[in-house]
Amino acid sequence: MLNDESGRQAGIARLISDLRTAKVELLSAQCAADRLRQQYSVADIVSFGEPQALKGAIASAAALSRFFATIDEQMKKAERQT
């Protein structure tokens, strides 16, 4: 049981560390998107941006949105149950 508990605690610590790292990386991505938004019009981005790069960025943003929306739903559900 001690090994299971210590493994569980290590897993939780790793998860917390990974969440903190993801938070910083997501903030960096948000800042990069804000810079684009402030410097260029949507029309210019569409006209002059590389379509594959834009499609990749859009797909990544959509996947992140779905992932965090699922987490948000679960958090709200857990809050309602307490």
| Type of residue numbered 40 | Y
pLDDT of residue 82: 84
pLDDT (tens digit per residue) in 25-49? 999 999 999 999 999 999 999 999 9
Distance CA 42, CA 49 (A): 10
**Does residue 78 share a domain with residue 54?**
yes
Average pLDDT over the chain reads 95
Selection from 66, 72, 64 nearest residue 80 by Cα? 72
Assess contact for 21 and 13: CB atoms under 8 A. no
**Does residue 32 share a domain with residue 55?**
no
**Does residue 32 share a domain with residue 3?**
yes
For the chain, helix (H) and strand (E) counts, in that order, are: 3, 0
pLDDT of residue 42: 97
**Does residue 82 share a domain with residue 62?**
yes
Range of the domain at 65: 50-82
| Domain tally, the chain | 2
pLDDT of residue 3: 66
Q: Is the pLDDT of residue 2 over 90?
A: no
Q: What is the pTM of this model?
A: 0.81
| Type of residue numbered 34 | D
Q: Percent of the chain scored above 90 by pLDDT?
A: 90
**Does residue 57 share a domain with residue 32?**
no
